[in-house]
Structure 1
């Protein structure tokens, strides 16, 4: 068997946004600006004024679309949660039918370039870590987390049933999940963070500890 799969630039003047956009497009622009603002200033220091400045829009326009900071943060969290859910579910759906292919796709999805950006990692860490963010996260994202955990546990159980492993599927899934979250946090807190490719290799090393005939640090093994 051989391994065959692996897993902001400097500041520059922002382009002026279009003066008129459809309502949904404008809201999306403001949510993306909120993600960037949280990445730069943190959860508690994010303000409507700073979001407006980041987006290149007026404070009044932010108020028009979201009314309050709390509403803007809720909508931003909901957007991130749905983006994350679609990212891993679509990756699993697009993978081959086997448990190793689907498990690899699910784990590697967290390190796709669109998902694994400094701003998005910072925003996720902010929602996880802020005292006022945890109740909000649990209320809005608990069902998504449950779906993720069930799917990951089911894939680990399939690895046992179909390939003769004996790992406890609940514990194996938990270790894989907390390793993913851990390397995300590591990438945010180290002075010289390692790249997404190294983060994925770390996670694959963990997967290989449970399922050594199908994974190595380099990724998924194929016959």
Structure 2
């Protein structure tokens, strides 16, 4: 009888699955969450180093120090891994600006300035973070899943800006409030693009100062 062998990657995945099944449920969940975070972090690094098109399960596995089989086990495919990487990146951004609002107090101007400051914070506005944004944004037209995630999170943030502008412009017509909120949102995107494409032209601090000046001029 011909002897069959299991490929190393499949064997490692099988061993991991068997070992995990003997652990308590909470420990299994913690291990799974840790592996997922490890793979998502590796995907971000791969996109920054290789670009979105050249990021593969192989490059991600190499960055994570894991087998491709483990990546497939948790995310099914390259597309699944990229989709969840974009969602995680947006979730971090949303958590950052919401935390800024939570600590800003009730004054609407303070809240708006805090939200804008979060846009240009080192955690959000680093060269690495901007590379990820524009890598995914450039593919929205071709990948509906990317577009849906962007729309979901962008709508949430735009709504927060409109709500704050409404509190600041209580005597203004609703259309004017929406217009001013759109200008503020668009200006941030424009500064992010400049910082990404021409990083030596301006600093995040200068972009924040200019945005604050525009807000004071508008409201």
Q: Among 99, 104, 112, which residue is 1:103 paired with?
A: 112
In the alignment, which residue of structure 2 is the partner of 1:145? 154
The alpha-carbon deviation at position 151 of structure 1 amounts to 1.4
What is the distance in 2 between the residues matched to 1:44 and 1:98? Answer: 45
In the alignment, which residue of structure 2 is the partner of 1:82? 91
Q: Among 169, 182, 185, which residue is 2:190 paired with?
A: 182
- The TM-score, its normalising length taken from structure 1, stands at 0.76
Equivalent runs, 1:148-163 vs 2, <5 Å: 148-161=157-170
Q: Cα RMSD between the aligned structures?
A: 2.5
The alpha-carbon deviation at position 180 of structure 1 amounts to 0.7
* 1:62 and 2:71 matched: yes
The alpha-carbon deviation at position 210 of structure 1 amounts to 0.8
What is the distance in 2 between the residues matched to 1:85 and 1:78? Answer: 10
> Tell me, which stretches of 5 or more residues in structure 2 are unaligned?
1-19, 21-29
Q: Deviations over 1:157-206 (max 9, x none)?
A: 21122xx7789211111111111111111111115253321221232232
What is the distance in 2 between the residues matched to 1:134 and 1:145? Answer: 17
What is the distance in 2 between the residues matched to 1:184 and 1:134? Answer: 22
Structure 1 residues 183, 58: closer, same or farther in 2, change over 3 A?
same
What is the distance in 1 between the residues matched to 2:140 and 2:156? Answer: 24
Q: Deviations over 1:105-158 (max 9, x none)?
A: 111111222212222211111111125555223322423222211211121121
Question: Which one is further off, 107-116 or 60-69?
Answer: 60-69
> Tell me, which stretches of 5 or more residues in structure 1 are unaligned?
1-19, 212-223
In the alignment, which residue of structure 1 is the partner of 2:127? 118
Question: Which one is further off, 98-107 or 117-126?
Answer: 117-126
Bigger relative contact order, structure 1 or 2, given CA contacts below 8 A and separation 6+? 1
Structure 1 contact 126–133 (Cα < 8 Å) conserved: no
What is the distance in 2 between the residues matched to 1:50 and 1:143? Answer: 29
Structure 2 contact 141–147 (Cα < 8 Å) conserved: no
Structure 1 residues 108, 59: closer, same or farther in 2, change over 3 A?
same
Secondary structure class of the residue paired with 1:168 = helix
- The TM-score, its normalising length taken from structure 2, stands at 0.78
Equivalent runs, 1:181-220 vs 2, <5 Å: 181-190=189-198, 192=200, 194-211=202-219
What is the distance in 2 between the residues matched to 1:201 and 1:191? Answer: 16
* 1:41 and 2:50 matched: yes
